[in-house]
């Protein structure tokens, strides 16, 4: 939940983030969101939010966590005002 309420004072949901290496052994996995959840294209394994394959060929495999941070924009912007906000992946190449 967000630390900030909506207009009615009701709590709002807020996103969260996790980050993992997409390398498993000698494979580099590609992930997509499917009806089953987060699925890797290469094996069809389904992954949970803590980086564990819960079904498929790689069931029981744990992805290696990557150090990251998840900040509220207003807090980030105070300390990193030079940050550029991009709307899409295509914007990253601009």
* pTM (global) more than 0.85: no
CA 20 remoteness from chain centre: 9
pLDDT of residue 68: 86
**With contact defined as beta carbons under 8 Å apart, do 22 and 29 qualify?**
yes
Strands 46-47 and 37-40: antiparallel
Q: Alpha-carbon distance 6 to 36, whole Å?
A: 31
Nearest to 41 by CA among 51, 26, 29: 29
Structure tokens given for 18: 């996790």
Per-position pLDDT tens, the chain of length 94:
445 555 555 655 666 778 999 999 999 999 998 899 899 999 999 999 899 999 999 999 999 999 988 888 888 889 999 988 777 656 555 5
Residue ranges per structural domain of the chain:
23-82
CA 60 remoteness from chain centre: 20
């Amino acid at each position: 939940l967000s630390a900030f309420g909506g207009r009615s004072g009701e709590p709002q949901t807020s996103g969260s983030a996790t980050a993992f290496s997409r390398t498993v052994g000698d494979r580099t996995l590609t992930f997509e969101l499917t009806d089953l959840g987060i699925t890797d294209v290469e094996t069809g394994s389904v992954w949970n939010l803590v980086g564990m394959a819960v079904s498929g060929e790689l069931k029981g495999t744990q992805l290696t966590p990557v150090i990251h941070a998840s900040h509220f924009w207003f807090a980030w912007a105070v300390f990193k005002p030079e940050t550029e906000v991009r709307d899409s992946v295509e914007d990253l190449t601009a």
